[in-house]
Amino acid sequence: MTNIKRDYQISIYLDTRRAKKNGKFPVKLRVFTAHPRKQKLYPTKFEFTEDEFDLIWNVEKPRGEKKNIKILLKGLETKTYTLADSLDEFTFEDFEILISPNKVQVKRTVNEYYKSAIDSYRHNKLTTAISYEYSLKSLLQFLGAESLHFKTVSVQWLKDYQSFMLQSGKSRTTVGMYLRNLKAIFNSAISDGVIKSEIYPFGKGKYQIPTSKKVKTALSAKQLGILLQGQPKTKEQEKAKAFWFFSYACNGMNVKDIADIKYKDFIDDDTFFYYRNKIKDTDVEHKPIIIYLNSFTKEVIREYGNKRINKDTYLFPIVAHEYNQEQIDRSVNNFNRFISQHMKKYAQSLELDVKINSKIARHSFATNLIRKGGGMEFAQESLGHSNIKTTKAYFSGFADDDKRDMANKMMDFE
């Protein structure tokens, strides 16, 4: 653990300026800073005569009751140092909040900010809350302590953490996700005035969070055809296949958005629209994505959809109106897992050696749309991306057959 460099001193001090009625003097905590040169005294419950204090505090090994009192005074001094050390930058104002018996609970450490974020996200973004939990656990594991302070997190500390994670077998994607959470925590603390922007370790010329350049996995048209034409072995596989291809056919719509469809979202029997949940809480412009149903998606609705009661009825029985946000998130995550698990078993039954889960339906839609001539801009609009760079990251490239065909066409001048 990093040694703390203190710019303050705390000591036990007998204030002999004015004696009390019983002839004793109050014992106080003396806090001194050199820059700026300043001293303040804070009261304690102890009081002694000068001789008593000398025999308790200034004797190396006092005996009897005096020994017990010295232990209590030492404990008070140590406890006060611990409180002061929790501040990322010592100020008398912040220190006095900490030692006040009726102090307001103020977030000071990285842990406290993480816990606040986790509690907040648990009510509306369970997956994000879990991500923050893993991030904090990982940082504390590297630190080897139970509490992380902002001043500990330097550029070098972050580089060492990244090396530790990669050597432990974690991916750059995981490192990036955990440290983006930490970056958000720093931004919150700066916004609250708890730390100064000067100690911010992220950004140009400082620590750069690693990004993954890996292209998203997508299935080829041939693989998609095998999956579509194949016969599932169980009802679970059949249902997973239906919703996986529903996602694929509906512009790569993710499961959370599928769960959120209501009958009021239908423009007519063949068309509905939705707004992506992923960007609802961002500053990105919210544009509706129009979905045109085909015979396959209509059959999925007939087979697995809810009977319409009113316009607010959910299209599919994935979530329910009486659910709170935590229950909604849990149900969506469980259904996501259901699709991924049974699609994997289904692909194995067809002897398809492919990675497959609910997310790959979205990647496959983007890639095959572009390969079929839809174009990057068309794919961007269909996926609801605000930045075409995001769409390009979804594209798995052109198939070898397409490249070979294009090479042959390049010599055809007729």
Q: Quick: pLDDT tens for 81-103.
A: 888 887 777 888 778 767 765 55
Topology of the domain comprising 221-406: hpI Integrase; Chain A (1.10.443)
H/E stretch holding 31 reads strand 25-34
Tokens of 405: 């065909």
Say yes or no to pLDDT of 413 above 50.
Answer: no
Q: Quickly list H helices, 292-357.
A: 295-304, 325-349
Contact present, 29 and 44 (Cβ < 8 Å)? yes
Provide the whole-model pTM: 0.54
pLDDT range class, residue 285, cuts 50, 70, 90: low
The reported pLDDT for the residue numbered 288 is 81
The reported pLDDT for the residue numbered 216 is 59
Contact present, 142 and 1 (Cβ < 8 Å)? no
Mean pLDDT of 130-134: 94
CA–CA dist 88, 106 (Å, integer): 13
**What are the pLDDT digits (tens) for 173-228?**
899 999 999 999 999 988 887 888 889 999 989 999 987 655 557 888 889 999 99
CA distances from 352 to 52, 190, 309, 355 (A): 85, 51, 41, 9
Domain boundaries, the chain: 8-99, 110-199, 221-406
pLDDT range class, residue 154, cuts 50, 70, 90: very high
The reported pLDDT for the residue numbered 35 is 82
CA–CA dist 9, 39 (Å, integer): 9
Q: Within 10 A of 374 (CB to CB), how many other CB atoms are there?
A: 15
Q: Tell me whether the CATH fold assigned to 110-199 matches the one assigned to 221-406.
A: no
Q: How many helices (H) and strands (E) does the chain have?
A: 16, 6
Say yes or no to pLDDT of 140 above 70.
Answer: yes
Say yes or no to pLDDT of 403 above 80.
Answer: no
The reported pLDDT for the residue numbered 281 is 56
Tell me, what amino acid is at 390?
T
**What are the pLDDT digits (tens) for 206-215?**
999 987 655 5
Say yes or no to pLDDT of 74 above 90.
Answer: yes
Could you give the 3-state DSSP secondary structure of residue 413? coil
**What are the pLDDT digits (tens) for 156-172?**
999 999 999 999 999 88
Mean pLDDT of 254-263: 93
H/E stretch holding 267 reads strand 266-268
CA–CA dist 122, 24 (Å, integer): 54
b or e along 221-244 (b: 16 or more beta carbons within 10 Å of the residue's beta carbon)?
A: eebbeebeeeebeeeebebbbbbb
Say yes or no to pLDDT of 75 above 90.
Answer: yes
Residue 11 bridge partners (DSSP)? 30
Of the candidates 65, 41, 43, the one whose C-alpha atom is nearest the C-alpha of residue 52 is 65
* Locus of tokens 């979804």: 394
pLDDT range class, residue 289, cuts 50, 70, 90: confident
CATH top-level class of 110-199: mainly alpha
Say yes or no to pLDDT of 367 above 90.
Answer: no
The reported pLDDT for the residue numbered 102 is 54
Contact present, 301 and 97 (Cβ < 8 Å)? no
Say yes or no to pLDDT of 259 above 70.
Answer: yes
**pLDDT-wise least confident of 189-203, 263-277, 396-410:** 396-410
The reported pLDDT for the residue numbered 183 is 95
**Whole-number mean pLDDT of the chain?**
84
